[in-house]
Amino acid sequence: MKNKRILIIVLALAVIAVAVWFVVFSGGAKGVRIQAVKVVKAMPHDDQAFTEGLYFQGGYFFESTGEEGSSGFRKVTPETGAVVQSQEMPPPYFGEGIVGWKDRIYQLTWKDEKGFIYGANDFAQRGEFSYKGEGWGMTQDGTRIIMSDGSSTLRFLDPETMKPTGTLEVTAEGCPVKNLNELEWVDGEIYANIWQTDLIARIDPKTGHVLGFLDVTTLGPANPGRDDVANGIAYDAAGKRLFVTGKNWSQLYEVTAGEDVESAEAQTIMACAKQ
């Protein structure tokens, strides 16, 4: 009986040792999953739209566009890509992220440290707000506005005052994830385009840890220009539908998460974990 107990203990220790080895050396439980996306449907998208922000509400896409002289935001019919309502942003402003909150629409500018407030129905300007640094992307979780500025830090803002209430450092396996751009709240997670990559990070809003990446390499133009990058995430919470597009892309896609893939871009982001 004694020998049997010793054997059980030895086997248990061996299992624990294997599990520890798996976690430490192979990524195991803390490994970040990378998935390709599967296209459910492709829809038309204005290939002159330098997309900076996107969200879905009331059966329409609301999309903001950048570049000085062509910045603004619009309300778009999903199936046709037709613009049914729009608001221009005058020069010298460079439009950035957009988010809807109650009867308002907020839009950032890139380097002017100023955002604009519009009526959600008439698109009439209602006011302005200010912030330090650059403005990139926005979304909201039902209680807070979440803003990106191109760094690895997300900001939380009070939706009524647009004043900062906190920050969140985003990391993947301990490595800072920089260039966080367009944002979307998806079933309790923050999704973020990573600028100049084909990756969308899935972020835990409590810890800032990247839970996984979606790789959209297969989407977009066959021969994209330098600026024609993936940027634009929208989610239909009622229909559980995820949409993505990019700057100057001719299509907007409904997608789902697909098979696991290798990604050199993701490995580069997480390279500090191996140093």
pLDDT in tens, the chain (275 residues): 555 454 445 444 443 443 333 333 333 335 799 999 999 999 999 999 999 999 999 999 999 999 998 999 999 999 999 999 999 999 999 999 999 999 999 999 999 999 999 999 999 999 999 999 999 999 999 999 999 999 999 999 999 999 999 999 999 999 999 999 999 999 999 999 999 999 999 999 999 999 999 999 999 998 888 899 999 999 999 999 999 999 999 999 999 999 999 999 999 999 986 65
Give the DSSP H or E segment for 13.
helix 2-26
Cα separation, 142 vs 159, in Å, equals 9
Q: How far apart are CA 178 and CA 193, in angstroms?
A: 10
Residue 239 φ then ψ, to 5° = -95, 0
Tell me yes or no: is domain 36-274 CATH 2.130.10.10. Answer: yes
Dump pLDDT digits (tens) for 242-257: 999 999 999 999 999 9
Residue 57 in tokens: 């509400």
Whole-prediction pTM value? 0.88
